[in-house]
Structures are given as structure tokens and as C-alpha cells.
């Protein structure tokens, strides 16, 4: 076993297709330049940030240890550049970076496919119903296209019950995105379960999910052509459809409306119910100011960033 090992993993924003992707529909996400850092060193007991590691409060790291570690106790320290429960994929980033430090402590390097698969298992165990979008984006970085069939840039294929996802590298042009965090921390599991209940009993909800998947397919074409106006229009439509599914809230709607006059498009990102929205814009400073004026916390984020990485 090695001495101290540190890894970091990026947060993500979903450009199109959250929730529908849990049903196996197309979705596009990009890793952003806000990272979560995880440090691990041998210790006399398992701990996280000085507290005894517990399955109740530290579910993701606890599960990583259960599934991947047979050695002596470890003290973990985490530091995040973005808030947890903000829709930016903090659970995925904590999971992929923990799996990376465990691999590092075993003297191994990073295998991004292996980490993406393990992280999806951990996230599904802790959160309940999930898709591999957050964990694959955090592991691979850059841009990810999830589709129901294989295509160019295929990275890996993940299957669970009757659902399957083909995960592709998605080349993403330089995009200027502003994230607006509502300040409301919203856990993903209950929102995903709420959409499932709605879809189980309502044909209209299932049609909305189909339509979100189709918007994502149109989004792939816009990205290929670097058509930001087209992409923005799809994002705003997607927000309206997600609101119909019941996963927006008044704080998210307020930030989206504030950003729209200065943006190609805006939408909630991630599970919703609070968390964050994103705006695609070429006027990031004004959009950030509008978000701040409406009580949100803005982050102007970089895209095309690396996935999970061991740090020197
Ligand atoms: C959360 O970032 C994205 C959701 O689609 C859930 C998932 O895909 O696991 C809401």
C-alpha cells in the first residue's frame, strides 16, 4: 500500500436529456472546470474529513470502500470547488475520485472505463434508480453523448435491467456556459423516483420523455455544426418539458427567465427541484449579474476539461 494519494474529478452540466436518459433516451453532457479533490492516506481507522466513515452520512465513499478495498483503514479528505446537491454531479465526482485514489493506493493507474462502471454501480446502490451519465462524464471528462445505439466515438456500453446506454465521446466546441445555483440542495434519488411514478401511470409523461430524447438528438446535430443558436433553442424547450415533468421549481424558473434575454438558451441542469440552471451565452458577465440579482450564485464555467485524474 502506498502513502498519500490524491485524485480529482470534474463536475458536469447536462446540456440536454436529464431524466429522459434514465429511461434509456439520448442525452448530452459536458464536464466543467470545477473539480472535487479527494486525498487518501493510511490511518488507524476509516474517516472522512476527520469524522468516522459512516454508511448513513458518507454513502458514496463508504460503498467505494466496501466494493473496492481490502487493505488497511484509510483517512479520506475531500475538498470541492462546487456545492454538493447543486446539480453539478458532486456525488459522481466524489465517487470517481475515491475510486481513483483507491486504485492509486493499490499502485495502479487510472482506467476510466473501469472507474465509470464501478462508479455507476456505487451511484445506483446509494441513490437508487440512475443512469450512467454523471459517472461516465466525471470519469471521461470533455463531452459525453449517451445514445440507445452504438455510433462513432463509442467509449463503453452499460446495461442495467432492461435499459442500456451506449456512451460516446462527444466533441464539444468551445461553449461559454454560466451556471446559476439556486442555493437549494436537492437530492437526485427522490426526483428520479417522482418522474418514474409519473411515467408509470401517464402516457403524456412518457411522450414528454420521448420528446426530450428527440431534442437531444437534434442537439447532436447543432453541436456538430457549432450552431449555438439552435442548441440554445433546444435547451430552452427542454427546460419547458422538464417543468411539465415536475422537476423545475420557481427559483429555477426565475433564474432561467433572468438569463434568457442575454442567452442563446437556458434550462435547469441535473435532477432539478433546486440545484442549478445553465445558460448558453456569449455575454457571460451580464448573465452572471442577472443571476446574482435574482438571488442565485453564478459560476462562469470552462468546458473541454479532463476527467478523473491522479494528482502528483
Ligand atoms: C442527474 O444529474 C441526472 C438525472 O438524469 C439522473 C441520472 O441520470 O441518473 C436526473
Same domain, 268 and 166: no
- Give the Å distance between the CA of 223 and the centre of ligand 1: 21
Beta pairing, strands 177-181 & 163-169: unpaired
Atom of ligand 1 nearest to the CA of 92: 2
Q: Is the CB of 85 under 6 A from ligand 1?
A: no
CB 176 within 8 A of CB 226: no
Q: What is the pLDDT of residues 108-139, one digit of tens each?
A: 999 999 999 999 999 999 999 999 999 999 99
C-alpha grid cell, residue 11 = 463536475
Whether residue 183 sits in one domain with residue 152: no
Is there a single domain that holds both residue 158 and residue 195?
no
Based on the structure, what is the number of domains in the chain?
A: 2
Of 30, 215, 217, 212, the closest CA to residue 133 belongs to 30
- Domain range for 297 is 176-302
Residues 125, 183 within the same domain: no
Residue 35 grid cell: 473539480
Structure-block grid coordinates of residue 181:
445555483
For residue 27 and ligand 1, the question of a CB distance below 6 A is answered with no
Model confidence band, residue 6 (pLDDT cutoffs 50, 70, 90): very high
pLDDT per position as a tens digit, 280-293: 999 999 999 999 99
Residue 308 lies in a domain: no
Whole-model pTM? 0.97
Question: Does residue 6 sit in helix, strand or coil?
Answer: strand
* DSSP sequence for 155-210: EEEEEETTEEEEEEE-------EEEEE-S----HHHHHHHHHHHHHH-HHHHHHHH
Residue 310 in domain: no
Ligand 1 atom nearest to CA at 129? 9
For residue 50, CA distances in Å to 55, 96, 194 come to 15, 21, 35
Q: Are 132 and 158 part of one and the same domain?
A: yes
- Choose one of 172, 206, 240: the last residue of a domain: 172
Domain for residue 195, yes or no? yes
Cα(80) to centroid(ligand 1), Å: 20
Amino acid at each position: 500500500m502506498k502513502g498519500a494519494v490524491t485524485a480529482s474529478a470534474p463536475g458536469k452540466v447536462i446540456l440536454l436529456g436529464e431524466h429522459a436518459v434514465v429511461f434509456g433516451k439520448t442525452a448530452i453532457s459536458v464536464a466543467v472546470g470545477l473539480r472535487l479533490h479527494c486525498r487518501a492516506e493510511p490511518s488507524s481507522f476509516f474517516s472522512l474529513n476527520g469524522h468516522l466513515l459512516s454508511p448513513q452520512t458518507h454513502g458514496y465513499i463508504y460503498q467505494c470502500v466496501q466494493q473496492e478495498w481490502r487493505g488497511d483503514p484509510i483517512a479520506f479528505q475531500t475538498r470541492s470547488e462546487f456545492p454538493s446537491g447543486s446539480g453539478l454531479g458532486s456525488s459522481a465526482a466524489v465517487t470517481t475520485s475515491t475510486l481513483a485514489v483507491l486504485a492509486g493506493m493499490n499502485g495502479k493507474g487510472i482506467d476510466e472505463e473501469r472507474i465509470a462502471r464501478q462508479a455507476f454501480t456505487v451511484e445506483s446502490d446509494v441513490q437508487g434508480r440512475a443512469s450512467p451519465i454523471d459517472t461516465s462524464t466525471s470519469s471521461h471528462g470533455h463531452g459525453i453523448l449517451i445514445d440507445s445505439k452504438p455510433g462513432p466515438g463509442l467509449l463503453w456500453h452499460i446495461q442495467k435491467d432492461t435499459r442500456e446506454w451506449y456512451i460516446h465521446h462527444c466533441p464539444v466546441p468551445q461553449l461559454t456556459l454560466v451556471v446559476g445555483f439556486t442555493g437549494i440542495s436537492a437530492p437526485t434519488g427522490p426526483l428520479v423516483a417522482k418522474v418514474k411514478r409519473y411515467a408509470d401511470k401517464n402516457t403524456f409523461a412518457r411522450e414528454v420523455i420521448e420528446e426530450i430524447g428527440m431534442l437531444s438528438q437534434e442537439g447532436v446535430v447543432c453541436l456538430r455544426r457549432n450552431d449555438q443558436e439552435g442548441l440554445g433553442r433546444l435547451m430552452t424547450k427542454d427546460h419547458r418539458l422538464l417543468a411539465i415533468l415536475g422537476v423545475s421549481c420557481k427559483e429555477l424558473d426565475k433564474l432561467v427567465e433572468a438569463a434568457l434575454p442575454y442567452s442563446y438558451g437556458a434550462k435547469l441542469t441535473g435532477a432539478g427541484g433546486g440545484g442549478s440552471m445553465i445558460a448558453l451565452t456569449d455575454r457571460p458577465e451580464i448573465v452572471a449579474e442577472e443571476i446574482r440579482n435574482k438571488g442565485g450564485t453564478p459560476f462562469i464555467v470552462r468546458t473541454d476539461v479532463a476527467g478523473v485524474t491522479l494528482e502528483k
